[in-house]
């Protein structure tokens, strides 16, 4: 009851789920979105008293998953963990079969997430300035992988290219796992990755972390400085996740899921794990999530500076 979001809903009737809940994710297993989804689902299902099963719908930088959520029955048994790409970036670059502002009922903000820039260990660079110098020397010769066209990963890379006057060839994938597999295999030299899947491959020496895209260091990569501290002042490109339901979902359902989400995010084990991934997390209301999407979708790519 002490959590923000709980107090405002405590007086109303609660929705009690009576069957398993599907959590749709627009990415493949093995990435940060997957790790976040599984952490949240594992605790929320205990709070709600019903299994919460992750349903993977990868492709189109998360927009296939977002469409599946928008088209589901508004009964509380289909929810989505949706990131900033299909809600603010993709709709500015092509037509999508949903409205990011009016097409969903938002439960709450889950996390804000930075990225890490990785290089194959055989590439002779250990810092971002060295990568920039090499990219300037050989325009187009270096390639970088991301989890898809229009993803925050691509937009972060495009912003860095614009700020530094460099050119590297973009190779999009359907998720973080295949993008990182090809980095480790040497098919690409650079990758923009979310923190969770990058941790084990950096620790094992299969990739080298040279910068993070947030405005401060990430606990998982001590000593790896932000882009803004390596010659690109003001650079800050991060994504976020929200939990969403189909438009028309009854208010008691939204309120119950919001309370369960906030309780989950306040659970020490979940909080420690998500913060370890570099996320900023805090209790949130449905209105806060809706406002975040509304305000950032107004600016399109400008929310991360990617329209510069």
| Percent of the chain surpassing pLDDT 90 | 68
List pLDDT tens digits, range 67-106.
Answer: 999 999 999 999 999 998 899 888 888 899 999 999 999 9
List pLDDT tens digits, range 152-192.
Answer: 899 899 999 999 999 999 999 987 889 999 999 999 999 99
Q: What is the pLDDT of residue 269?
A: 92
Q: What is the pLDDT of residue 299?
A: 62
List pLDDT tens digits, range 60-73.
Answer: 888 999 999 999 99
Residue 209 pLDDT class (50, 70, 90 cuts): very high
Q: What is the mean pLDDT of residues 54-63?
A: 91
Residue 48 has pLDDT above 70, yes or no: yes
Q: Which of 200, 198, 144 is nearest to 173 (CA)?
A: 144
Q: What is the pLDDT of residue 304?
A: 44
Could you give the CA distance from residue 69 to residue 50 in angstroms, rounded to a whole number? 19
Q: What is the mean pLDDT of residues 17-42?
A: 91
> In the chain, where are the structural domains located?
7-113+239-304, 115-229
Q: CATH for 7-113+239-304?
A: 3.40.190.150
Q: What is the pLDDT of residue 155?
A: 87
Q: CATH for 115-229?
A: 3.40.190.10
List pLDDT tens digits, range 239-263.
Answer: 889 999 999 999 999 999 999 999 9
Residue 45 has pLDDT above 90, yes or no: yes
Q: Three-state SS for 46?
A: helix
Conformation bin of residue 128: beta by default, left when phi > 0, alpha when psi is -120 to 50: alpha
Residue 281 has pLDDT above 80, yes or no: yes
Residue 12 pLDDT class (50, 70, 90 cuts): low
**CB contact burial 68-85 (16+ within 10 A = b; e otherwise):** bbbebebebbbbbbbbbb
Structure tokens at 252: 């008691």
Q: What is the pLDDT of residue 11?
A: 42
Contact, 217 vs 225, CB < 8 A?
Answer: yes
Residue 300 pLDDT class (50, 70, 90 cuts): low
Could you give the CA distance from residue 124 to residue 113 in angstroms, rounded to a whole number? 28
| Percent of the chain surpassing pLDDT 70 | 92
Could you give the CA distance from residue 107 to residue 251 in angstroms, rounded to a whole number? 10
Could you check whether 7-113+239-304 and 115-229 share the same CATH topology?
yes
Q: Match 């913060």 to its residue by tokens.
A: 275
């Amino acid at each position: 009851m002490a959590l923000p979001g709980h107090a405002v809903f405590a007086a109303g009737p609660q929705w009690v789920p009576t069957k398993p809940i599907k959590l749709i994710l627009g990415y493949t297993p093995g990435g940060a979105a997957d790790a976040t989804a599984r952490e949240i689902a594992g605790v929320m299902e205990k709070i709600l008293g019903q299994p919460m099963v992750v349903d993977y719908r990868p492709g189109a930088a998360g927009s296939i998953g977002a469409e599946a959520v928008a088209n589901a029955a508004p009964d509380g048994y289909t929810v989505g963990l949706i990131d900033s790409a299909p809600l603010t970036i993709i709709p500015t670059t092509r037509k999508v079969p949903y409205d990011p502002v009016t097409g969903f009922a938002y439960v709450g903000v889950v996390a804000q997430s930075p990225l890490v820039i990785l290089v194959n260990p055989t590439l002779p660079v250990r810092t971002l300035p060295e990568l920039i110098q090499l990219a300037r020397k050989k325009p187009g010769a270096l390639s970088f992988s991301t989890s898809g066209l229009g993803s925050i990963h691509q937009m972060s890379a495009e912003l860095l290219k614009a700020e530094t006057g460099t050119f590297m060839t973009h190779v999009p994938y359907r998720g973080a796992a295949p993008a990182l597999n090809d980095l480790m295999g040497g098919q690409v030299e650079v990758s923009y990755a979310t923190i969770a899947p990058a941790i084990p491959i950096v620790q094992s020496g299969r990739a080298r972390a040279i910068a993070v895209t947030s405005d401060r260091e990430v606990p998982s990569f001590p000593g790896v400085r932000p882009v803004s501290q390596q010659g690109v002042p003001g650079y800050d490109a991060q994504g976020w996740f929200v939990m969403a339901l189909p438009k028309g979902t009854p208010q008691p359902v939204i309120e119950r899921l919001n309370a369960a989400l906030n309780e989950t995010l306040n659970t020490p084990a979940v909080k420690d794990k998500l913060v370890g991934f570099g996320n900023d997390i805090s209790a949130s209301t449905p209105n806060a999530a809706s406002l975040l999407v509304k305000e950032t979708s107004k600016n399109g790519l400008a929310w991360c500076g990617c329209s510069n």
